[in-house]
Structure 1
Amino acid sequence: MRHVASLWIGARLGEIERAAIASFLRLGHAFTLYGYGAIGNLPAGVTLADASEILPGDSILRDRRSGSPAMHADLFRYAMVRATDALWVDLDMIALRPFDFDTPWVLGREDDGQLNNAVLGLPRESRLLASLCAITPATRGVPPHLRGLRRQKYRLRSALRGGLPITEWPWGSTGPRALTHFATLTGDVGRAMPPQAFYPVPIHAVRRFLTPGALRPEDLPADSFGVHLWGRELRAELAGSFGGRVPRGSFLDLIRAEGA
């Protein structure tokens, strides 16, 4: 069974993260969680590992606008895939059946135009992984995926700053957009599994996870390996439309109970 791993930046896991980990443990996966310190409510059966052995955490990369450490997690996963045999999974990915693939190439499309890196496995020697690992905390310049007038705008900003730090790049520039860009350049984009493999519920339909009766696990496609909860958008919808309280009978309520 494939070993899976992820990263948590913080002292305690939330309900979504615990539910995600529990879904893999139930299916028999060994799960390693990397952290930059103790994690107080780690589920039984999870191995806690020192994240600084993969990517130093003395300065956590955070998006300049939102403060999110998602960019740090992007760079961490590329370094982890290169350094270990584990398959990366985000902590808002719920496993529906074993992630037991017979290929080192494990990546999926979130829609027809873009790949997503919430599940990622790549050969260590691949050009694609080398391209992703070339993005480091010290990288400055223009986001490689940008085109047209937007690229010109960022090129000017970068020139005026002596190189634009990646913390000021647009959201997703080191994650899904970078993966899509480099996979297209290397010709590996065709290796990606279709959206239903990991992203059967699109990001614009995140409300389905919160509406009672709108979605049950058995409603998901039979060929889905997992379902990505789009945690950032899910939390925003939960706070904005539901007062921060998970509705009883919703998909999120059902899966969080399994991870309790």
Structure 2
Amino acid sequence: MSTPVRRPVASLWIGERLHYLNQLCLLSHVRQGHPTTLYCTDKVSNVPEGVIVKPATEIMSVDMDIVRQTSESFLSNVFRYKMIQKTDAVWIDCDAYCHRPFPDEMTHIFAGHGFRGALNCGVVYIPQKGALMDQLLDYYDNLPEAPAWFNKQQRKKIDKQDRSLPQAVRIYNAERTAFGPQAFTYFAQQTGDYERALTHDVLYPVPFQLNDVFYDPHCNVEGHFTDATLSVHLYTNGTRPWWRKNPPLPGSYADRMCKVEGVDPAGALEE
């Protein structure tokens, strides 16, 4: 029985090589029937078969000088909404594992995560046309002197920045998350879309603070899941260096999912 073709998903990769966890997560969407596109700023040597590769410039021009002065996450935070607007695909971070396919009828896909109630945008879909999309893109395309939600201390940090720096760099230096969850949460609150957020178990069943459980063969990761869980975020940015440089322990969630997706961890470790 063939796998049904589902709604498209897409992500962005900056660099020349994927880690095995990224291969694993991309392949999980392919297996669930989602046409999966990886937009790349470089030629990536180890993209798994079944993943569609396209240049990131199909979505937007990429200023690598700004990326080098900020981070890869800065570019991806801008990129995801422009990608959704142009392609109507669901954005997936490269460390989001597809537990179950995204229903075609879901018009808003985002959720809170962690213990603070802020929305995350690691997996996100919003309508291509609407107030939330308009406000997000206007923010990125016309950066303010300071984001509207900044407090006095954050505004002082911006004021101390060299005015010859690009405005994106000045804001980033004042607050690293000003282009990610902070922006998405603020604008969703302004447009009323905050109330559309899914519960954390749908997209982020395991809290960021507990991400070691993915590598522990004695932990019941699936105990965090519910019948509503669609995606499992593996939080590679917070993964301890040892786990990134070594294959997962036999029987751990990461090991078991590698077997499901046919990924050899030893062939794509962090160098």
TM-score in same-fold range (> 0.5)? yes
Q: Does 1:93 align with 2:89?
A: no
Match of 2:153? 150
Offset of 1:134 from its aligned partner?
Answer: 1.9
Is the CA contact (8 Å cut-off) linking 2:41 and 2:55 kept in structure 1? yes
TM-score by length of 1: 0.87
Match of 1:256? 258
Match of 1:113? 117
Offset of 1:24 from its aligned partner?
Answer: 0.7
Offset of 1:16 from its aligned partner?
Answer: 0.7
Aligned AA (2:102): F
Partners of 2:255 and 2:221 lie apart in 1 by 10
Partners of 2:42 and 2:118 lie apart in 1 by 34
Which residues in structure 2 correspond to 1:122-201 (within 5 Å)?
122-136=126-140, 139=143, 141-147=145-151, 149-154=152-157, 156-157=159-160, 161=163, 165-201=170-206
Q: Does 1:55 align with 2:57?
A: no
**Aligned with residue 85 of structure 2, among 75, 82, 87:** 82
Offset of 1:5 from its aligned partner?
Answer: 0.6
**Aligned residue-pair number:** 252
Partners of 1:182 and 1:109 lie apart in 2 by 14
Partners of 1:253 and 1:98 lie apart in 2 by 21
Q: How well do the aligned residues superpose, as a CA RMSD in angstroms?
A: 2.4
Offset of 1:104 from its aligned partner?
Answer: 2.5
- Specify whether residues 9 and 100 from structure 1 end up closer, same or farther in structure 2 by C-alpha distance, changes over 3 A only: same
Partners of 2:50 and 2:178 lie apart in 1 by 34
Partners of 1:137 and 1:187 lie apart in 2 by 22
Deviates more, 1:14-23 or 1:128-137: 128-137
What whole-Å deviation, never above 9, does each CA across 1:189-247 have from its counterpart, x for those lacking one? 0011000000010111111112222134476222100111111001xx243xx683233
Partners of 1:258 and 1:12 lie apart in 2 by 22
Is the CA contact (8 Å cut-off) linking 2:158 and 2:174 kept in structure 1? no
Partners of 1:10 and 1:121 lie apart in 2 by 25
SS class of match (1:135): helix
Match of 2:214? 209
What whole-Å deviation, never above 9, does each CA across 1:163-210 have from its counterpart, x for those lacking one? 563332412210111100110111110011000000010111111112
Offset of 1:248 from its aligned partner?
Answer: 2.7
TM-score by length of 2: 0.84
> Which runs of 5 or more residues in structure 1 are unaligned?
none
Offset of 1:94 from its aligned partner?
Answer: 0.5
**Aligned with residue 26 of structure 1, among 20, 31, 34:** 31
Aligned AA (1:117): C
SS class of match (2:175): coil
Offset of 1:139 from its aligned partner?
Answer: 3.0
Offset of 1:144 from its aligned partner?
Answer: 3.2
Deviates more, 1:223-232 or 1:38-47: 38-47
Partners of 1:255 and 1:52 lie apart in 2 by 32
Aligned AA (2:96): M
Deviates more, 1:84-93 or 1:37-46: 37-46
